[in-house]
């Protein structure tokens, strides 16, 4: 078979000069480059996922086999039924807490399965061995329950939070993420543990007094463990999660190492006090519950709500940096940084169809990721590769915004922060000067609202949009003035759906 040539056949001509200069580097055809094969990373992800599923399946079969052997088939069935009741509502509470930047479902499932299979398997093996050494295997095991089980169980549960913080160090944003994973691993651990305890009491009472007595005993234990104290294991592990969450947001090496350790020791102490009350208080268990468990749980709930509120404030603060740079307008921020605004944007988009609703969710998710990344850049807890990620997120934000139907804004106008004299003001990051209609200049500035800059009067009466500052200010840390490849902000003629009007004109 012959192939047509592009022109008449000619004799080969000698090259004008040598392809490689004498003494220079020569080609190395046998040396492989560093470029990945297309699809290689995806195949590695699939392989890792398959390995994880297999490991969890084997661990699940082992732990369920151990539990079924200890409870009998009847006890295992009733224990499984009763233990499943609190799982869905408790998980729903933690997912409700994680509404600004929900964790991926695969990591939520991973944390739950770790708690249900891996952590329980390690705990039941170590606790049993220690109980045998203490000759407590058949005597209630009070010493091992108070002094050994909390150490082992909190380490087994907390290790997965540390693992996820290391593997997802770019996406693990702080305390709220840690609390969510603590909830998932704690719920999983409690699920398997409740099957064991409820199934065992059913089996023992059924052998002594019949299945009716066994069912009554199982139901009473269900009320105590599944309805009165369903948050016990998530609560204890939350202390470890708080320590890890503090560590990932702090630059100090000492804090990074000490915070998780202090959190873990606090979790062990709280767990040990609870087990001591359950083992030694006898009839005073209710008093231990009222004095220790309920106040501790109420304090943790209040702390989690405060952290979520501060999370919204942080998102708003970091997004207003991009308002100053011209990438967003002030009215965008409440639709991302407040739960009420997020709901309003999605409900309004839902009226225009599934695609519009998907675009609104993607816009919010993209802007939220951008705010978290900006916070890490300001805190200097992330490497220089964050600049390229930030550029990608900004490009995506600009491209997605055109397809989002925004709701009318009067209901959210009060959410835009006010500076002195009723002017719009954006929280300042380190290294930028006062912001006004004039240019941004370098200068030391602490956190807080900004007044009018050297360019003049701001926004009388709180109306109008701030003129955009093209690109990134030269004085901003981690934003080199010669950084190439960064777009200069949205074009001035671009409008926005829903009646926001055009972007501020570029200077």
Read off the DSSP letter of residue 53: H
The H or E element that residue 348 is part of is: helix 339-350
Mean pLDDT, residues 307-329: 91
Place of tokens 């693990």: 172
| pLDDT bracket for residue 169 (50, 70, 90) | confident
Tell me how crowded residue 95 is: count the other CB atoms within 10 A of its CB.
16
How high does pLDDT run on average in the chain? 77
Q: How far apart are CA 419 and CA 305, in angstroms?
A: 27
Taking the C-alpha atoms of residue 153 and residue 159, their distance in angstroms, rounded to an integer, is: 10
The mean pLDDT value for 453-464 works out to: 31
pLDDT above 60 for 474: no
Kindly report, residue by residue over 2-48, the tens digit of the pLDDT: 444 444 444 444 444 455 455 555 555 555 555 555 556 667 888 99
Q: Which residue has the tokens 């991973």?
A: 110
Both structure tokens of 81: 């039924």
Do residues 462 and 293 make contact, with C-beta atoms less than 8 angstroms apart?
Answer: no
pLDDT of residue 220 exceeding 70: yes
User: What is the reported pLDDT for 421?
Assistant: 34
Amino acid 62: pLDDT: 97
- Of residues 460 and 277, more confidently modeled: 277
Q: What is the pLDDT of residue 409?
A: 62
Is the predicted pLDDT of residue 423 greater than 50, yes or no?
Answer: no
Alpha carbon separation from 245 to 172, 320, 322 (Å, rounded) = 8, 24, 26
Q: 401: which 2 tokens?
A: 């915004």
Write down the pLDDT at residue 471: 36
Report whether pLDDT(88) > 70: yes
How confident is the model over 328-355, as pLDDT tens digits? 888 889 999 999 999 999 999 999 999 9
Q: For the whole model, what pTM was predicted?
A: 0.74
The span from the CA of 445 to the CA of 428, in Å, is 7
Per-residue pLDDT band for 450 (boundaries 50, 70, 90) equals very low
Asked if residue 219 has pLDDT above 60, the reply is: yes
In terms of pLDDT, which residue wins out, 285 or 379?
A: 379
Query: Per the structure block, which two tokens stand in for 455?
Result: 């360019």
Look at residue 382 in the predicted model and tell me its pLDDT: 87
Structure tokens at 41: 């990373």
Q: According to the model, what pLDDT value does residue 136 have?
A: 75
pLDDT beyond 90 at 270: yes
3-state DSSP assignment of residue 494: coil
Specify the pLDDT at position 280: 72
Q: Report whether 445 contacts 425 (CB < 8 A).
A: no
- Predicted confidence at residue 463, as pLDDT, reads 30
- Give the burial class of 111: count Cβ atoms within 10 A of its Cβ; 0-12 exposed, 13-18 middle, 19 or more buried: buried
Q: Which residue has the tokens 């925004």?
A: 406
Other Cβ atoms within 10 Å of 301 Cβ, number? 14
Q: What is the pLDDT of residue 236?
A: 96
Quick check: 420 pLDDT over 50? no
List CB contacts of 471: < 8 A, sequence separation 6 or more. Answer: 325, 486, 488, 489
pLDDT at position 320: 92
The pLDDT of residue 145 is: 87
pLDDT digits (tens, 9 = 90+) for 225-263: 999 899 999 999 999 999 999 999 998 999 999 999 999
What mean pLDDT is predicted for residues 399-425? 59
CB 146 within 8 A of CB 276: yes
């Amino acid at each position: 078979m012959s192939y047509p040539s592009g022109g008449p056949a000619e004799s080969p001509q000698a090259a004008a000069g040598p392809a490689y200069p004498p003494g220079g580097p020569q080609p190395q055809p046998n040396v492989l480059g560093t470029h990945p094969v297309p699809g290689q990373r995806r195949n590695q992800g699939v392989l890792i996922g398959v390995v994880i599923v297999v490991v969890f399946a084997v661990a699940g079969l082992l732990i369920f086999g151990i539990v079924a052997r200890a409870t009998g088939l009847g006890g295992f069935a009733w224990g499984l039924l009763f233990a499943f009741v609190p799982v869905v509502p408790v998980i729903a509470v933690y997912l409700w807490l994680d509404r600004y930047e929900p964790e991926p479902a695969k990591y939520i499932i991973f944390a739950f399965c770790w708690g249900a299979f891996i952590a329980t398997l390690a705990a039941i093996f170590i606790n049993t061995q220690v109980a045998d050494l203490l000759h407590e295997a058949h005597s209630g095991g009070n010493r091992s329950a108070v002094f050994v089980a909390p150490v082992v169980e909190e380490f087994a549960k907390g290790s997965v939070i540390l693992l996820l913080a290391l593997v997802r160090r770019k996406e693990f944003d702080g305390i709220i993420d840690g609390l969510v994973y603590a909830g998932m691993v704690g719920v999983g651990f409690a699920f398997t543990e409740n099957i064991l305890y409820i199934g065992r009491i059913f089996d023992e009472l059924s052998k002594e007094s019949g299945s009716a007595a066994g069912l009554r005993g199982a139901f009473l234990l269900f009320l105590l463990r599944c309805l009165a104290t369903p948050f016990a294991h998530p609560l204890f592990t939350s202390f470890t999660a708080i320590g890890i969450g503090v560590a990932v947001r702090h630059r100090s090496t000492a804090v990074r190492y000490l915070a998780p350790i202090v959190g873990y020791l606090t979790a062990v102490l709280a767990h040990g006090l609870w087990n001591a009350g359950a083992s030694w208080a006898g009839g005073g268990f209710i008093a231990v519950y009222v004095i220790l468990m309920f106040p501790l749980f109420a304090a943790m709930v209040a702390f989690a709500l405060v952290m979520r509120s501060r999370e919204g404030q942080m998102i708003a603060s970091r997004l207003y940096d991009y308002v100053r740079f011209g990438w967003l307008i002030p009215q965008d921020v409440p639709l991302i940084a407040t739960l009420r605004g997020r709901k309003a944007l999605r409900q309004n988009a839902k009226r225009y169809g599934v695609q519009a609703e998907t675009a609104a969710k993607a816009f919010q998710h993209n802007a939220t990721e951008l705010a978290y990344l900006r916070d890490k850049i300001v805190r200097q807890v992330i490497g220089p590769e964050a600049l390229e990620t930030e550029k990608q997120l900004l490009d995506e934000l600009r491209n997605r915004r055109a397809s989002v139907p925004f709701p009318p804004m009067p209901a959210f106008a009060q959410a835009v922060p006010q500076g002195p004299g009723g002017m719009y003001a954006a929280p300042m990051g380190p290294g930028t000067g006062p912001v006004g209609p004039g240019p941004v200049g370098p200068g030391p500035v602490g956190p807080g609202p900004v007044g009018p800059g050297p360019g003049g009067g701001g926004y009388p009466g709180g109306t109008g949009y701030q003129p955009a500052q093209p690109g990134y200010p030269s004085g901003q840390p981690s934003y080199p003035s010669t950084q190439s490849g960064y777009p200069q902000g949205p074009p001035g003629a671009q409008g926005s759906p829903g009646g926001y009007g055009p972007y501020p004109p570029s200077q």
